[in-house]
Amino acid sequence: MKLIKAAALGASLFFAAATSQAGETYDAVKAKGFVQCGTHTALPGFSIADSKGVWSGIDIDLCKAIATMMFGDATKFKTTPVTTQQRFTALQSGEIDVLTRNTTATMTRDTTLGLMSAGVNYYDSQGIMVSKELGVKSAKELSGAAVCVQPGTTTELNLADWFRANNLDFKPVVINSPDEAMRSYVAGRCDAFTTDKSGLATIRTTLANPDDHVILPEDFSKEPLGPMVRQGDDQWFMVVRWALNTMLEAEEYGITSKNVDEMLKSSNPNIQRILGVTGEMGKGLGLDNKWAYNLIKQVGNYGESFERNLGAGSAMKLERGINAQWRDGGLMYGWPIR
Amino acid sequence: MTNKTSVPQAPKRRLSWNDPGFRALIYQVLILGIVGLGVWYLVSNTLHNLAIRNISTGFDFLHREAGFAIGESVIDYTPADTYGRAIWVGILNTLRVSVVGIIAATLFGTMLGIARLSKNWLVSRVASAYVEVMRNIPLLLQLFFWYAIITEVMPGPRSALNPIPGVFISNRGLKMPALQGDALDWMVAGLGLAIVAIIVLGHWAKKRQEATGIIFPLVRAALGLLVVLPVAGWLISGASLSLEMPVMKGFNFSGGISLSPEFVALLTGLIIYTSAFVAEVVRSGIQSVNRGQWEAAEAIGLPRRRLLRLVILPQALRVIVPPMTSQYLNLTKNSSLAVAVGYPDIVSVVNTTLNQTGQAIEGILIIMAAYLTVSLSISIFMNWYNKRIALVER
């Protein structure tokens, strides 16, 4: 069925109008009045719908941030849950405007898919989880193991690369549906389960006995996860890129959804520029000068989003780690708004 | 005055709208033109769209290193091989499950179909219950069921069931001892010789029966040959044959022959599902043979087995073969549900490939070409067979 969907999306490339002009996506989003985001089908902390169908997660916050940039209203967005196999075709064919679905930025994806990465909202690495009773302390002891993995991801390649580089053997068990793959692992069909470490951490919380499973220390890869857009619309690309930068800058200067109104009175010239008190920064993007004020007020800064979805305020309880601000020893570095 | 006009000449064929042949020609050219234009528009528009979206096209990616591992393959494969070879592995995996599935579903389904017509009340009811239940449950559901049975009910490899020495059943699949040794080639040669001998013997027996009326006990002779010749080969080569036993090593068994849970689940699902349809095809085929044919055959004193083989089956097969072709095609195409239970078939491998390369259109074209080739081959073979057994009007 997923194949059918992929085929249908592929077919839509046949019939897509053969026109291209600058600002195509930007204009289309403005005209329809909402942003269509491609999201994960269900990954706690990144994008997941609750029992009422309300979506939340760090990727959803980014989608809301983009909506606020465009319309000054965080509710002007819609989600299209896509699987790993559908996501690029969905973006290529125009079914979605932006892919906010913990997708790894790689050179191939930037250069051959007609897409481009617009930044990184989570620095991840691929890890591997095993059952504690195996008594394994390192992935190097996994020679000959069966490993459950989902198809169509960089995960599948990194896994093969890492085992090849270490001269170890393994048997992949490639199952499409995340639930089925997880069930197979729990049932013992595979010795190990691999995906991004953040994913392992969140998945582990959903298992019957989280403490029976251990995430091994090895990092198989670098996984810079972030939003992607189609090539050919620079203005839209910049909206997405600066939505992310605005969230990062807001955290660095201590502007939160709670104090943003007081911050309007701040004498710090950086804060004044970000909040549109001085300067005309929004104009360059064709946006309201209050773009950042609206964004921070309605969605919050990057740190707030992290806390709420992945950090102490969530069930995941992930450390900020390398996703801390650069001043705190992390990799998060918002580009200057000036 | 000449009298040329008095000789009636055939009217000169002119290009006239009144000529039905001419009209048909024009219509066909028109339709062909429209289809051609449509295809040209789709292809050129697609290429144009791909180009302005900066999406790479072409089949060059087939020569690039694939980089992903595949769980099981008929030929040697490592992640260092090309996408082309990975896809070939997928095609062979599809063929493997389809061929075994078709043979098993035919045998099992035929038995079921005959059982449904049995005079034994219990046998016929069990068979019809099976048919009704199995063909009304979606195949995908059945696959999940079999896969869950294998992975969740079976023990882990360390506490694998060991019903016969050397055979291990666990949630890593079925492990069996493999034959190895120099005698293996000799035994295969003996088997080949036995098959040739049986074919020759069959021809001779038929000739002799036509000439003399004496029936040769071919089945018993064939069974004898199948046993004696390979054993002879084994003895000639010095009886050097041993069993390679699977041994638990590290995380799993090594050595011997192994069938993965994914393969077993997919194969079981396909056989059980398809054989219900095959049973119905066989039943309807047998029932299509007129009652009078049975009575006539019984009247000349044919024993039941011979009656079925010589009178009923040749007539039933004409009804059975065309719908059976559809079932074979269905089974082959249904094997594309493999990715649901993690069996690396062509669809699964191409899906991964098109995700890594982003070349969705080429990937889908490869899948379509592969299934088309396999389906047309099955269809051509079955049509040939159908012609061969068709009623020869004299």
Partner-chain contact B71 A189, CB within 8 Å: no
Separation between Cα atoms, residue B363 and residue B342, nearest integer Å = 19
User: Would the CB atoms of A232 and B357 count as touching at under 8 Å?
Assistant: no
Whole-number Å distance between alpha carbons of B310 and B368: 41
Closest Cα of chain B to A95: distance in Å?
14
Chain B: nearest CA to A2, how far in angstroms? 10
- Per the structure block, which two tokens stand in for B282? 């066989």
**Cβ neighbours of B139 in A, within 8 Å:** none
Phi, psi of A253 (to 5 degrees): -95, 10
CA of B152, closest CA in chain A: separation in Å? 5
Distance, in Å, from the CA atom of B267 to the CA atom of B283, rounded to the nearest integer, reads 23
Name every residue whose Cβ is closer than 8 Å to that of residue A255 and which is 6 or more positions away in sequence: A263, A271, A274, A275, A296, A301
Sheet holding B168-170, edge to edge: B168-170, B173-176, B257-259
Q: For chain B, where are the alpha helices, taking DSSP H only?
A: 20-52, 83-116, 121-135, 139-148, 183-212, 218-236, 261-287, 291-299, 304-307, 313-334, 346-357, 360-389
CB contact under 8 A, B361 and A144: no
* CA within 13 Å, CB half, A134: 25
Alpha carbon distance, N-terminus to C-terminus of chain A: 48
pLDDT value, residue B231: 82
Query: What's the mean pLDDT in A15-44?
Result: 79
**What pLDDT band is residue A199 in, cutting at 50, 70 and 90?**
confident
Question: Residue B171 and residue B194: Cα distance in Å, rounded?
Answer: 38
- Cα separation of A155 and A76, whole Å? 33
Residues of B in contact with A14 (CB under 8 A): 42, 45-46, 49
> Does A18 sit within 8 Å of B52, measured CB to CB?
yes
Q: Which of B339, B357, B359 to mutate to test the interface with A (most CBs of A within 10 A)?
A: B339
φ/ψ (deg, to 5) at A158? -60, -40
Q: Which tokens in the block code for residue A295?
A: 């964004």
Determine how many CB atoms are found less than 10 A away from the CB of residue A144: 15
End-to-end CA distance of chain B: 59
DSSP per residue, A94-120: TS-SEEEEEEEP-HHHHHHBSEEE---
Distance CA A150, CA B355 (A): 12
pLDDT at B283: 93
Task: Give contacts of B55 with chain A, Cβ < 8 Å.
Answer: 92, 112-114
Please, which pLDDT band fits residue A9 given cuts at 50, 70 and 90? low
Contacts of B156 in chain A (CB under 8 A): 188
Chain B residues inside the 8 Å CB shell of A184: 147, 151, 342
Closest CA to A87 of A100, A68, A73, A78: A100
Query: Contacts of residue B266 in chain A, CB cutoff 8 Å?
Result: none
Closest alpha carbon to B171 in B159, B188, B182, B163: B159
* Per-residue pLDDT at A10: 55
Nearest CA in chain B to A188: B156
Instruction: Give chain A positions within 8 Å (CB) of B357.
Output: 108, 112
Q: Which of B250, B254, B355 sits opposite A84 (nearest CB)?
A: B355
Q: A148 to chain B: which residues are within 8 Å by CB?
A: 342
Q: Which of B251, B359, B367 sits opposite A144 (nearest CB)?
A: B251
Tell me whether residues B171 and A232 touch, CB distance under 8 A.
no
State how far the Cα of B218 lies from the Cα of B202, in Å rounded to an integer.
7
| Alpha-carbon distance B234 to nearest alpha carbon in chain A (angstroms) | 35
Q: Taking CB atoms and an 8 Å limit, are A152 and B355 in contact across chains?
A: yes
Using an 8 Å CB-CB cutoff, list chain B residues near A191.
Answer: 251
Contact B152 A160 (CB under 8 A): no
Show pLDDT as tens, one digit a residue, over chain B (394 residues): 455 555 555 556 667 788 888 888 999 999 999 999 999 999 888 888 888 777 778 888 899 998 888 988 889 999 899 999 999 999 999 999 999 999 999 999 999 998 998 889 999 999 999 999 999 999 999 999 999 888 888 888 878 888 888 788 888 888 888 777 667 777 888 888 888 988 898 888 888 888 887 878 888 888 888 888 888 877 877 766 777 777 777 777 777 788 899 999 999 999 999 999 999 999 999 999 998 998 998 899 888 888 888 888 888 988 999 999 999 999 999 999 998 888 999 998 998 888 788 788 889 999 999 999 999 999 999 999 888 877 666 5
- A88 neighbourhood in chain B, CB within 8 Å: 355, 358, 360
- Report the residue of chain B nearest A1, measured CA to CA: B337
Lowest-confidence pick of A110-114, A311-315, B186-190: B186-190
Please answer yes or no on whether A187 and B351 come within 8 Å at the CB atom: no
Q: Based on C-alpha coordinates, what's the Rg of chain B?
A: 29
Nearest-by-CA chain A residue for B173: A189
Q: What is the pTM of this model?
A: 0.78
ipTM over 0.90: no
Tell me if A173 and B342 make a contact (CB, 8 A cut-off).
Answer: yes
In this complex, the residue of A85, A160, A191 whose CB is nearest that of residue B355 is A85
Q: Which of B42, B79, B252 sits opposite A160 (nearest CB)?
A: B79
Tell me the H-state helices in chain A: 2-15, 24-32, 58-71, 87-92, 107-112, 154-165, 178-187, 197-206, 234-252, 260-263, 269-274, 291-298, 302-309
Name the minimum distance, in Å, from the CA of B243 to any CA of chain A: 23
Q: What local confidence, expressed as pLDDT, does residue A21 receive?
A: 44
**A172 contacts B70? CB cut-off 8 A:** yes
How far is the C-alpha of B140 from the C-alpha of B101, rounded, in Å?
16
Among the partner-chain residues B53, B152, B341, the one whose CB lies closest to the CB of A92 is: B53
User: Residues 6 or more apart from B281 whose CB is under 8 A from it?
Assistant: B109, B113, B320, B323, B324, B327
When scoring A112, A154, A183 by the number of chain B Cβ atoms within 10 A, the one with the most, hence best to mutate, is A112
Instruction: Please list every residue in chain B whose beta carbon sits closer than 8 Å to the beta carbon of residue A231.
Output: 53-54
pLDDT band at A329 (very low <50, low <70, confident <90, very high): very high
Instruction: Flag the least confident range among A92-101, A227-236, B216-225, B271-280.
Output: B216-225
CA distance A124 to chain B (A): 19
Please tell me the distance from the alpha carbon of residue B171 to that of residue B134, in angstroms, as a whole number: 24
d(CA B354, CA B55): 12
pLDDT at B121: 92
A271: tokens are 């804060």
Strands A126-131 and A35-39: unpaired
Report the C-alpha dihedral over residues B291, B296, B301, B302, rounded to 10 degrees. Answer: -60
**Which position has the token pair 């059952």?**
A131
H/E segment holding residue A287: none
Is residue B147 classed as helix, strand or coil in its secondary structure? helix
CB A91 within 8 A of CB A109: no
Output the pLDDT for position A299.
96
Confidence of residue A85 (pLDDT cuts 50, 70, 90): confident
Pairwise CB contact (< 8 Å): A112 & B55: yes
| d(CA B277, nearest CA chain A) in Å | 23
Q: Å from A336 to nearest chain B CA?
A: 30
CA distance B73 to B94: 10
Interface test with A, best of B151, B169, B260 (most A CBs within 10 A): B151
